[in-house]
Amino acid sequence: METQHSPMTREAVYREPRHWGTSDERITAAQLSYLKTLMLDAGEQSTDLEDMTHVEAALRIEELQRRTGRRSCK
């Protein structure tokens, strides 16, 4: 008998970045690259990004996605 799983929605698995277990880890290389792209699109300077935490970067990315219209799938 085949088990059927209901499709997971983004809302079902989304957790606020400040509640992540990795909140104190450094920004990832992927986040850094995407953040630089978003900041360029927003006309902002990208300085001191390497000092951000994983969560700070995620929150900044979300903010810039809203401002630039580059929203991820939600």
Ranges under pLDDT 70 in the chain: 1-15, 17-23, 72-74
SS (HEC) of the chain: CCCCCCCCCHHHHCCCHHHCCCCCCECCHHHHHHHHHHHHHHCCCCCCHHHCEHHHHHHHHHHHHHHHCCCCCC
**Model pTM above 0.95:** no
Residue 2's pLDDT is what?
57
